[in-house]
Amino acid sequence: MRLFLDTANIKQIREVARMGVLSGVTTNPTLMAKEKGVSYRDRVVEICEAVDGPISAECTSRTVDELVPEAREVAAWHPNVVVKIPIDEVGLEATSKLSAEGIKINMTLVFSANQALLAATAGATYISPFVGRLDDAGHDGMEVVRESVEIFDQYNLPAQVLAASLRHPRHVIEAALAGAPIATLPYAVLMAMLKHPLTDTGIERFLKDSRSYEKESAKEPSGS
């Protein structure tokens, strides 16, 4: 399973990339609105230069005539850019046109396996079910991931399920067990995956004990 970061924050992206666990990044207009003093294009290019993997950048046009040229322009920012398009009639039509040109699409705001199937059929490379937002509405968000993975596997569809809107480390485990090839996580969720109180106390204890034997060996006369 590949892990992506769901953020437009370059500091967080660089930090996680240095740990060797980052395979890509997803952004959206809401995440970008948190970044001040930088254009969307410049930030996406900066991310592409920091991470060698798919970097999703979202389009906002609401007609096919506007969305297709916007997506072509976004795709031209960098070879690693994946164009993120919300699923609806306009999104599907644009996706079928753009994927035929070889542009990679991440179909976003997916809330059902039916939407996932339509997105895959239109030619999207990545399909993003929003698990947390479904959970918030009282549904089992992970069920969409499970069903979509099963459908794509059963029919050998090349589209990849990108589990999104993950809110806590348990979501990541469940997405992995469901067979999602990719999960995109907020920085805080990735750090929560890493941390364990027993690791912290274990490191502290080993450090303390190593200091005590270093002291002991320092006391021993040389040559003994």
User: What positions carry a catalytic annotation?
Assistant: 84
Report d(CA 123, CA 136) in Å as an integer. Answer: 29
Tell me which residue of 139, 141, 117 sits closest to 130, measured CA to CA: 141
Task: Find the binder of ligand G3P among 184, 185, 189, 190 (CB under 6 A).
Answer: 184
Task: Find the binder of ligand G3P among 132, 169, 179, 181 (CB under 6 A).
Answer: 132
Task: Find the binder of ligand G3P among 115, 130, 149, 189 (CB under 6 A).
Answer: 130
Instruction: Give the shortest CB-49-to-ligand G3P separation in angstroms.
Output: 21
Instruction: Give the shortest CB-7-to-ligand G3P separation in angstroms.
Output: 9
Q: Name the residue nearer to ligand G3P (CB basis): 64 or 141.
A: 141
Q: Name the residue nearer to ligand G3P (CB basis): 117 or 163.
A: 163
Tell me which residue of 49, 66, 55, 52 sits closest to 31, measured CA to CA: 55
Indicate whether 164 belongs to the interface with ligand G3P (CB under 6 A): yes
Location of structure tokens 């230069």: 49
Indicate whether 53 belongs to the interface with ligand G3P (CB under 6 A): no
Q: Under rule CB under 6 A, how many of the chain's residues touch ligand G3P?
A: 10
Tell me which residue of 109, 112, 169 sits closest to 140, measured CA to CA: 112
Q: Name the residue nearer to ligand G3P (CB basis): 80 or 128.
A: 128
Indicate whether 174 belongs to the interface with ligand G3P (CB under 6 A): no
Q: Name the residue nearer to ligand G3P (CB basis): 97 or 181.
A: 181
CB neighbourhood size of 223 (10 A): 4
Given the rule CB under 6 A, which of 65-73, 111-119, 127-135, 168-176 is the region that contacts ligand G3P? 127-135
Task: Catalog residues that contact ligand G3P under the rule CB under 6 A.
Answer: 6, 26, 28, 128, 130, 132-133, 164-165, 184
